[in-house]
Amino acid sequence: MAMASKNKFLTYRGGMFLLLALLIVSLICGFIIHHYSVVRQLAISEHKDEGTLYIIIGVAIIATIIAVVLSMRLNRNLRNLNKIVEAMENGADIESMPEFPRDELGDISRNIIDLYRRLRHASTEIERQHSRAMHEQQEKLRIKRQLTNNINHELKTPVAAIQGYLETIINNEDMTNEERKSFIEKSYAHSQRLTQLLTDVSTITRMEDGSNRIECQSVDLSAIIHEIRDEVALLPDVKRMRMNIELPEPMMIKGNSSLLMSIFKNLTDNAIAYSGGRDIFIKAWEGENNMYTITVADNGIGIDNDHIGHIFERFYRIDAGRSRKLGGTGLGLSIVKNAVLFHGGDIEVYNRKVGGLEFKFTLPKA
């Protein structure tokens, strides 16, 4: 196609040169014939005849030079346009536009180049969006496969434990009541962990796949936090932590009450189970863009900085054995992050200078 286009330009240029040559020759011949005809009719002197002939020849030469200059200029513009057309056909980027005259051909050339650049930019943007959509889709599939594999792995532990305890009870009729009760209690503990795991998985799935069906309304967040404080107060002494709360009253949030409850419930349970501290600090204040800024902190041991960037990942455990022993599912902090993001907020975590871990996030005001 490029060769056909080039041949068209060459044919056009050759035709123009032939037309100009014929025009110049016709003009010269016409002037000469007209001159001798006038001379014969009017009997003009030989001296005046030669002068007129020289004038005619000079005019013809000047006209020829002007025609050649104009044709060279036109030819240069056509060559530039031909190069641009070939670059367009090859899909190349046009870094700089050649200089075109301020005439009809120049205007047409500039319009063609501008149109090509807009089409090129639109095509690049479409390809970029398509590539990003494909990457996001592949990432979602990868996360779902990873979640499925992790769930299968996490389910095996409590199911195998429950099965083992029950088989022991069934196959040993001479067990004492104390032993049988101990095995039943352990089976019950594993069943509770299994129930919590399924609940957490259901919560994450609901946020990811059914976020448009989750009902949002005006929720009093201070009431939710005080409810959690009352639950913590009922824990045994070895688990109980002091709740230090500073909230505006009332503190109305636009969101889903169960997801908001899961945020503070999981952060509180995480501090009780792993921080090693004695106090939990919850503080909130009005921030920018109609958002509340909230911090949940403890005065425990904190965590190594190597783990900070991973604690929101699903099933990520700093100490896997200890987490399972304490009944953790490995999904609590992932639920916290997804719930905050669902409400349009941001969340970050860092070690406090005075000791302990602090979560800082935002939630929208009602």
- Convert the pLDDT of each residue in 131-187 to its tens digit: 888 877 776 677 667 666 666 666 777 788 888 888 888 888 888 888 888 888 888
Domain range for 275: 215-366
CB 331 within 8 A of CB 315: yes
Average pLDDT of 239-257? 88
In a domain, 66, yes or no: yes
pLDDT the model gives residue 177: 86
- Residue found under tokens 């009017």: 42
Answer whether residue 340 shows pLDDT above 50: yes
Q: Residue 309 and residue 360: Cα distance in Å, rounded?
A: 14
pLDDT digits (tens, 9 = 90+) for 190-231: 788 778 777 777 777 777 665 667 778 888 999 999 999 998
Last residue of a domain, one of 92, 124, 153: 92
| Separation of alpha carbons 222 and 212, rounded Å | 25
Residues 79 and 221 in one domain: no
Model confidence at 313, pLDDT cuts 50, 70, 90, reads confident
Examine residue 98 and state whether it is found in any structural domain, yes or no: no
Q: Please, which pLDDT band fits residue 5 given cuts at 50, 70 and 90?
A: very low
Q: What is the DSSP string of 278-320?
A: SEEEEEEEE-STTEEEEEEEESS----HHHHTTTTSTT--SSH
Could you tell me which residue, 317 or 242, shows the higher pLDDT? 242
In which band, very low, low, confident or very high, does the pLDDT at 1 lie, cut at 50, 70 and 90? very low
Query: How far apart are alpha carbons 201 and 210 in whole angstroms?
Result: 13
151 or 306, which is more confident? 306
Task: Identify whether residues 219 and 365 lie together within a single domain.
Answer: yes
Q: How many domains does the chain have?
A: 2
| Residue 43, domain member (yes or no) | yes
Quote the pLDDT of residue 225.
Answer: 92
Residue 267 lies in a domain: yes
Confidence of residue 302 (pLDDT cuts 50, 70, 90): confident
Q: What is the mean pLDDT of residues 74-84?
A: 72
Confidence of residue 348 (pLDDT cuts 50, 70, 90): very high
Q: Is residue 280 part of a domain?
A: yes
197 falls within a domain = no
pLDDT of 322 > 60? The answer is: no
Tell me how far apart the alpha carbons of residues 347 and 90 are, in angstroms, rounded to a whole number.
48
- Mean pLDDT over each residue of the chain, to the nearest integer: 76
- pLDDT at 122 exceeding the cut of 50: yes
Give the whole-angstrom CA distance, residue 152 versus residue 136: 24
Domain shared by 221 and 353, yes or no: yes
- Residue predicted with more confidence, 295 or 113: 295
pLDDT at 125: 84
Q: In this structure, is residue 279 part of a structural domain? A: yes
Highest mean pLDDT among 61-70, 134-143, 268-277: 268-277
Whether 200 maps to a domain, the answer reads no
For position 341, which CATH number holds?
Answer: 3.30.565.10
Residue 3 has pLDDT above 50, yes or no: no
